[in-house]
Amino acid sequence: MNAIVIQQPGGAEVLQLQQLPKPSPAAHEVVIKVHAAGINRPDVMMRQGKYAGSGDVSGMVPGLELAGTIEASGAAVTRWHLGDAVCALLPAGAYAEFAVVDARHCLPVPAGMSMTEAAALPETVFTVWHNVFQRGGLQAGETLLVHGGSSGIGTTAIQLAKALGSRVAITAGDEAKCEACQQLGADWAINYKAKDFEEVLSAEGVDVVLDMIGGEYTAKNLRLLKDDGRLVFINAMQGAAAEFNALDIMRRRLHITGSTLRPRSADFKSALAAEVEKHVWPLLAAGKFRPVIYKTFPLSEAVAAHQLMESSAHIGKIVLNIND
């Protein structure tokens, strides 16, 4: 089968199209004929060899999410049958014509949704559900601040939080990105290159912050939180170290948390898949949330797809179409 392989850690050009053997499933796994694979910023970090805990990435097939049809299933799999259309979360391997996945990490492709759209769901939806709603405990009527509002994660967080009754503020790096986020429902969209987000939001305050920036944002995020507010880290692209006032944490009973999805156990991901199917799949069916697809590329153009992601020019998701 055709697959994209990371030759060695480095720039986008280390992604190379190669022939690999088609995988076969263990008892609890399925093999999926991949129709589309979503690209995520962690794929870029993995390719660069900067993703903590990924080990030596040389020879690895990247790709954390896909959509396709069941090609083969292991003896212990009861839910899925040959030809079923599914999307799935996986620790690596989606940039390929076939991929092997834990059967419990598959969800049905939502009715009326293309394979391209379905492939853009698992990594972002699982991450947002766990961090905003499970860890951050966002409630209807509360205010969420999302940094990187136009990212794959951001466009998902805006729509889910609005669908569930929250107010949403976002930051993004230009006016077009801010406008796109407002069209998705954001109540405040702040171009951080033109305005200080802390100044804009200080009168309102926020209950939960979903942060991928870190660095000098950390103190500002904490100052914006209301009593019992929650700051949730999913990355720290501007820097992991930060200073903050511990007295503020005590005075306003703030919570600081965060997580990374990929290293979590298979059982944790199965439980999360069940929660996502229960709470998010009905929103997709009701048309209250739809992934934003910015651009698609064929598998052979994975290098260009990564270059686009690294340019940060995109709004929403970039997807590889495979086996079209």
Angle of CA points 145, 47, 98, to nearest 5°:
100
Choice between 238 and 323, CB closer to ligand NAP: 238
Largest CA-CA distance found in the chain, in angstroms, rounded: 59
Binder of ligand NAP out of 14, 66, 94, 212 (CB under 6 A): 212
The least CB distance from residue 172 to ligand NAP, in Å, is: 4
Q: Which of residues 295-314 bind ligand NAP (CB under 6 A)?
A: 309, 312
Q: Does 221 engage in binding with ligand NAP (CB under 6 A)? A: no
Q: How many residues are listed for the chain in this entry?
A: 324
Count other C-beta atoms under 10 Å from residue 60's C-beta: 20
Choice between 85 and 276, CB closer to ligand NAP: 276
Q: Does 87 engage in binding with ligand NAP (CB under 6 A)? A: no
The least CB distance from residue 213 to ligand NAP, in Å, is: 6
Report the alpha-carbon distance of residue 280 to residue 129 in Å, rounded: 8
- For the chain, the first-to-last Cα distance in angstroms comes to 14
Choice between 65 and 71, CB closer to ligand NAP: 65
Q: Which residues are CB-neighbours of 99 under 8 A, at least 6 positions away?
A: 23, 31, 32, 34, 61, 63, 66, 68, 88, 90, 93
Contact range with ligand NAP by CB under 6 A, out of 98-106, 146-154, 179-187, 223-231? 146-154
Binder of ligand NAP out of 9, 108, 137, 173 (CB under 6 A): 173
Q: Are 198 and 178 in contact (CB under 8 A)?
A: no
Spell out, one character per residue from 241 to 270, where the chain touches ligand NAP: x when CB under 6 A holds, - when not.
------------------xxx---------
Binder of ligand NAP out of 234, 256, 299, 305 (CB under 6 A): 234
Spell out, one character per residue from 33 to 72, where the chain touches ligand NAP: x when CB under 6 A holds, - when not.
-------xxx------------------------------
| Alpha helices, DSSP H, located in the chain | 41-47, 115-119, 122-128, 152-163, 175-183, 197-201, 217-224, 246-252, 266-279, 281-285, 302-311
Contact range with ligand NAP by CB under 6 A, out of 91-99, 197-205, 231-239, 275-283? 231-239
Q: Does 218 engage in binding with ligand NAP (CB under 6 A)? A: no
Choice between 309 and 322, CB closer to ligand NAP: 309
Q: Are strands 143-147 and 167-172 parallel, antiparallel or unpaired?
A: parallel
Which whole-number Å values give the CA distances from 37 to 23, 82, 157, 316, in the listed order? 17, 20, 20, 14
The least CB distance from residue 89 to ligand NAP, in Å, is: 10
Which residues here bind ligand NAP, judged by CB under 6 A? 40-42, 123, 127, 148, 150-153, 172-173, 177, 212-213, 234-235, 237-238, 259-261, 309, 312
